[in-house]
Amino acid sequence: MSKPHYDTGHHIKKAKGVGDPQCFSGEAGKPKFKVGDRVRIKNLPDIFYTRCQMYTRGAEATVAEIVYESPAPEDEAWDNTEHVEWFYSLIFKQKDLWPEYPDAFADDTLETELSERWLEPA
């Protein structure tokens, strides 16, 4: 029985024994946003792949946590791991995402994670 083939590219070698996204720690520079900041999600074009949900684009959110440094999925999907960004956990009010959301549940929130390229100050 032959051994399975595994990608031995740059990313795999870098993360081996360290983990991903830990292997990118210290590469993104200073975070642009801090916990509590209000941000707006940019409506950027995406080609083939993104982790930025369409329903969040143009919406405002609050930074809940600065979570880690890593290449954005849009880059990583093409094996581009040279541009490392901060990722943020963001909290949205459901009513801001869906205006028809019931008023009785106006305090409901949604939390998701996006990379810095998608964010701008609100």
The domain ranges of the chain are: 17-121
Length in residues, the chain? 122
Q: Taking the domain 17-121, which CATH number applies?
A: 2.30.30.50
Q: How confident is the model at residue 37 (pLDDT cuts 50, 70, 90)?
A: very high
Calculate the alpha carbon distances from 36 to 12, 53, 118 in Å. Answer: 34, 21, 17
Q: What is the pLDDT of residue 1?
A: 56
Q: Which pLDDT tens digit goes with each residue over 38-62?
A: 999 999 988 778 889 999 999 999 9
Q: Which of 32, 29, 22, 21 is nearest to 118 (CA)?
A: 32
Structure token digits, residue 83: 């541009």
Q: How far is Cα of residue 51 from the mean position of the Cα atoms in its chain?
A: 7
